[in-house]
Amino acid sequence: MAQLTFLAASSKAKLCKTYNQKGSKAYPNVAHFDSYAVPIAHSKTGIGELEKALKTAAQNGHCLLKGEAKQQIKKKRRVGLTDKNALTDHIVIDIDGLALPNIDVSQEKLNARRIKELAEQTLTTIFPAYMHNISYVFGVSSGFGLKPTINIHYHFLLDDPVEPAALKDWLRSMNFDNELVRSQLTLNKTKTALKWTIDPATANNAQLIYIAPPEFVGVNSPIANDDWRIQSVKKVDHTLDLAPRLTNLDPDIVKQETDKRINEICKELGVKPRKTKYFNFKDGLTGEDRACVANPPRMRIRFEYERDGYAHFNINGGDSTAYWCFTDNPRVMYSFKGEDPFSFESADPGAYKDFCNQFAKKMEDNVKYMVVHDVERDTYAKVSYRQGDGTLLSLNYSKKDSCNDWLLANGEPVPDVIPPWTIEYNPRASTGVDMRSSIINTFVETDYMRANADIPEEITEGLTYGYGSRLHAVCPVIYQVLYHVLGNELPTFEHFINWLAYVFQTKTKAKTAWVLQGTQGTGKGILFEHILAPLFNHPQYGTQHPAALEKSMENFDDQFNSYIEHCLIMVVDEFRMGNSRNTNVENFFKNAITQEMQTLRLMRSNPISRRTYTNFIFTSNEADSVRIDSEDRRYNVGEFQRVKLKDVIPDLFERNIGKEIQAELNLFATFLIRFQWVERHVRNPILNTAKLKLREHSADAYNLLMQKFVEGDLSAYCEILESLPATDLEQLRFQSVRNTLLTWIAKANTGHECGVKKQQLREVFEYFANKYLPRKTWNTMLRKMGIEEQRITCDGVRDRFLVTKWTLEETYKEQLLRNNATQMDVERLKKIDLDISKYYDMANPQDTDEAADA
């Protein structure tokens, strides 16, 4: 079974040539592809399947990838997509520019029958006799019928797979085995190699085989029906037994025949054979290591057009536009004709200079690539930067064994030793790549951080704390969004502007944070997406290491926290402290808000201690999102906003609010830069009504749990079972609390009183709040709620208990027991006459079956 891989341009562009009255345009250069595979049987039906697959792909504007793909790709480059040494059982023979005696294809009346006759006549004329009775599929070239010569691809299925290298030698040898073919061999444009009539390049795994019919604009196609371009020819045998013939092929003889023919042609032309020199580079399209001709002969290279970052050329008066280079890196000239790449500058220095002048703007930001050893992390980083000013463009940590391939893929030499560098994030120092000191500062300043817009003097003079509302006159849309998000309180707005100006100017920790509360649609998302992110995030580098980052609360339970190293503003969305399964998250935030030195835990790297600059903004749709005690010196709180922004700005959805904010951002950045912040207001949270309310919510949490105990409502306690302990000590506490809760759940809905020991309930409360409750405080809480001990008999023991009747929705009870109960729990509860075996059996039917079998 052969596996054919087809590629489609992710951009939906058709992979075909275009012909017009001026000539032709080459196949489009495409960087990103989608792939798919089609199986082809090695049987009598295989040729029909092959024809159908090729026709379908051709009609869709796709191309064939020679060699089986290692994986399916979607919107990716085809770098490394095939194994260049993998065996192949499908071969393509490309006949390029063969002149058949007494045949001028451009004068033929081309219909399906005549095209098939020409394909068969070509095969029987130049192919060896052992191939004449083998079924095949052929496809004519885009320009078939426009020139006198034959240009056809032949597809054969093989009995047994063969090596690409051996197949390549065999295709070369076919050029010498037939005198008609041999006599038509010429030199390529570089005059250093043969221009093959039977092209050996189709033996390469990763070679693109273009099959889509061309587009004709303003001119007629010589083939009236595109369906005629690909046809099958069925014969006696459906596969070719090629492997034994390759075994007997001597590559050295093929090389001798090649050199001999080159010398003959050079002699006919009166030129000396050239000794070709090469340098190695990584092909930016295929990812393959390739050799580039360093000393091509002089040529006349004419620039034709540029499209999508690729420039197309004709050489020595040709009109195929088959030669091309990258506009931002033109050192290598490529060819669609299968010729070796060559040095553009060496081939035509004048044309190269003119091209560089014409596209100087595209090349002034030429990107340099290097790999460095981050000594402190003891890992390796792949770095790209702008060579002109050292601006950092990307930095990604990597395993050492992939670094060489990455350098080659980007056309850079591989060093003998990867040099040691210091990599740091320091918003207060020079940024970028410093080659002299071997330091990379990963902070990249945005253009807004250098803003200097024209703002009236009456606005900026005396612009300090208490005068932030002047923003309304400069940036009315941004003012309206901020004022609304902060709860429509002017003192709170002033405090926030002072805080934000400090962070924006100093790029250090304010050591206080903000909690912004409100229902959905009050503008919290607009604040981050359209205001904070553009101000702090570099448009290119910021996508990898954002200085303004938004993370949902649930993501903070992750053990890795390296993101805070590169972050100046962290917006924590859907914030509610009680929602975190990791009870250490609250302590993490408290520490991260105020402490500059943090331990960074990175993947595949040692933990390191680094100074951090992160400032936090917490956004929540809940009114009790954070626990705040009376001594708190960390949290500023905005008034809970219940009015949606669209109710304040009725045409919010009709207006492009993002575009309006973008138009004001440069002015807003200038406003922040010229704002004279007051440090004492930065360091001390504002004590407003919103903060006082949040304190009350925090204090009421215990009362709420107490009230639920009195009512017997067990659901309030059950979220503990969904938590995951973070430490070994917490695991011990969790296990004890878990056993207590499962016992309560088992007793729920029985109608009987449940006795709970004071210490047992206290233990649950402490775990829930992640806070130690002194005995005196605990007893006071019980007394205030009127909860007293009673002497009853519970679980066979008569003692003093706190008494309640637990209730729980039956489906929720079943779910909790099925998800959490173990066999040990079944046995433990059975000792006190609680049978939960049916719930355990529902969740573990295999255990029940095994027991029955036993």
pLDDT digits (tens, 9 = 90+) for 309-324: 889 999 888 777 889 8
pLDDT digits (tens, 9 = 90+) for 489-523: 998 999 999 999 999 999 999 999 999 998 888 89
Using alpha carbons only, how large is the chain's radius of gyration in Å? 37
> Above 70 in pLDDT, residue 387?
no
pLDDT digits (tens, 9 = 90+) for 607-656: 778 888 999 999 988 777 777 776 788 999 999 899 998 888 888 777 88
pLDDT classification of 584: cutoffs 50, 70, 90: low
Pair 487, 640: CB distance under 8 Å: yes
| Angle (deg, nearest 10), helices 810-820 and 728-747 | 140
Q: Mean pLDDT, to the nearest integer, of 193-219?
A: 91
How many angstroms separate the CA atoms of 102 and 491, rounded?
Answer: 95
pLDDT at 531: 95
pLDDT at 581: 46
The gap between the terminal CA atoms of the chain, to the nearest Å, is: 47
pLDDT at 544: 67
Tokens of 181: 């073919």
How many angstroms separate the CA atoms of 529 and 48, rounded?
Answer: 55
Residue 329 domain flag: yes
Residues 483 and 436 in one domain: no
pLDDT digits (tens, 9 = 90+) for 81-109: 888 889 999 999 999 999 999 999 999 99
Q: Mean pLDDT, to the nearest integer, of 408-412?
A: 69
- Helices (H), strands (E): how many in the chain? 28, 37
Pair 645, 426: CB distance under 8 Å: no
Which pTM does this prediction carry? 0.47
How many angstroms separate the CA atoms of 285 and 292, rounded?
Answer: 15
Domains in the chain, number: 5
Residues 467 and 440 in one domain: no
Contacts of residue 668, defined as CB under 8 A and 6 or more positions apart, other chains included, come to 471, 474, 475, 478, 531, 535
Residues 286 and 429 in one domain: no
How many angstroms separate the CA atoms of 636 and 521, rounded?
Answer: 21
Name beta bridge partners: 661: none
| pLDDT higher at 277 or 17 | 17
pLDDT classification of 580: cutoffs 50, 70, 90: very low
Contacts of residue 795, defined as CB under 8 A and 6 or more positions apart, other chains included, come to 755, 832, 833
Residues 545 and 608 in one domain: yes
Residue 837 domain flag: yes
Give me the helices (H) in 233-307, please. Answer: 243-247, 251-269
pLDDT at 677: 95
Q: Mean pLDDT, to the nearest integer, of 516-532?
A: 91
> Above 60 in pLDDT, residue 849?
no
Residues 142 and 91 in one domain: yes
Q: Mean pLDDT, to the nearest integer, of 586-614?
A: 78
Q: Mean pLDDT, to the nearest integer, of 341-369?
A: 83
Which of 348, 364, 380 lies at the terminal end of a domain, its last residue?
A: 364
- Choice among 33-42, 275-284, 392-401, 667-676 with the minimum mean pLDDT: 275-284
- Mapping DSSP to helix (H, G, I), strand (E, B) and coil, where does residue 761 land? helix
How many angstroms separate the CA atoms of 217 and 18, rounded?
Answer: 7
> Above 70 in pLDDT, residue 701?
no
Residues 343 and 421 in one domain: no
CATH number of the domain enclosing 644: 3.40.50
Residue 686 domain flag: yes
Residues 33 and 128 in one domain: yes
Classify residue 488 as left (phi > 0), alpha (psi -120 to 50) or beta: left
pLDDT classification of 854: cutoffs 50, 70, 90: very low
Which residue do the tokens 């206080």 mark?
512
> Above 60 in pLDDT, residue 542?
no
> Above 90 in pLDDT, residue 595?
no
Residue 18 domain flag: no
Residue 734 domain flag: yes
Name beta bridge partners: 296: none
Element (H, E) at 63: strand 63-65
Q: How distant is the alpha carbon of residue 456 from its chain centre?
A: 44
Residues 250 and 160 in one domain: yes
Q: Which residue in 619, 584, 515, 559 sits closest to 770, CA to CA?
A: 584
Cβ-in-10-Å burial (0-12, 13-18, 19+) of 717 comes to: buried
pLDDT classification of 413: cutoffs 50, 70, 90: low
Buried b (16+ CB within 10 A) or exposed e, 670-706: bbbbbbebeeebbeebbebebbebbbebbeebbeebb
| pLDDT higher at 772 or 256 | 256
Residues 660 and 763 in one domain: no
Buried b (16+ CB within 10 A) or exposed e, 507-529: bbbbebbbbbbbeebbbbbbbbe
Work out the mean pLDDT of the chain and round it to a whole number: 86
pLDDT at 548: 84
pLDDT digits (tens, 9 = 90+) for 792-848: 999 889 999 999 999 998 888 888 888 888 999 899 989 988 888 888 777 676 554
Residues 336 and 475 in one domain: no
Which of 444, 465, 500 lies at the terminal end of a domain, its last residue?
A: 444
What's the angle, vertex CA 647, arms to CA 643 and CA 650, rounded to 5? Answer: 160
Residues 549 and 433 in one domain: no
The percent of residues above 70 in pLDDT, for the chain, comes to: 91
How many angstroms separate the CA atoms of 133 and 39, rounded?
Answer: 24
Pair 239, 46: CB distance under 8 Å: yes
pLDDT at 512: 95
How many angstroms separate the CA atoms of 743 and 684, rounded?
Answer: 47
Tokens of 338: 């299968």
Which of 203, 229, 263 lies at the terminal end of a domain, its last residue?
A: 263
pLDDT at 407: 79
Residues 174 and 75 in one domain: yes
> Above 60 in pLDDT, residue 472?
yes
Name beta bridge partners: 306: 311
Residue 187 domain flag: yes
- Choice among 36-40, 380-384, 726-730 with the minimum mean pLDDT: 726-730
- Choice among 668-682, 713-727, 731-745 with the minimum mean pLDDT: 713-727
Residues 622, 628, 633, 634, CA torsion sign: negative
Residue span of the structural domain in which 750 resides: 712-853
Residue 269 domain flag: no
How many angstroms separate the CA atoms of 335 and 340, rounded?
Answer: 7
How many angstroms separate the CA atoms of 36 and 78, rounded?
Answer: 12
Element (H, E) at 518: none
Residue 700 domain flag: no
Tell me whether strands 392-398 and 367-374 are parallel, antiparallel or unpaired. Answer: unpaired
How many angstroms separate the CA atoms of 262 and 193, rounded?
Answer: 7
Q: How far is the CA of 612 from the CAs of 182, 425, 597, 845, in angstroms?
A: 71, 8, 6, 51
How many angstroms separate the CA atoms of 289 and 283, rounded?
Answer: 6
pLDDT classification of 294: cutoffs 50, 70, 90: confident
**DSSP class of 355:** H
How many angstroms separate the CA atoms of 220 and 8, rounded?
Answer: 26
pLDDT at 361: 77
Q: How far is the CA of 598 from the CAs of 425, 524, 575, 608, 610, in angstroms?
A: 13, 28, 22, 8, 6
DSSP E strand boundaries for 316-404? 323-326, 329-335, 342-343, 367-374, 379-386, 392-398
pLDDT classification of 582: cutoffs 50, 70, 90: very low
Q: Which residue in 479, 499, 501 sits closest to 490, CA to CA?
A: 479
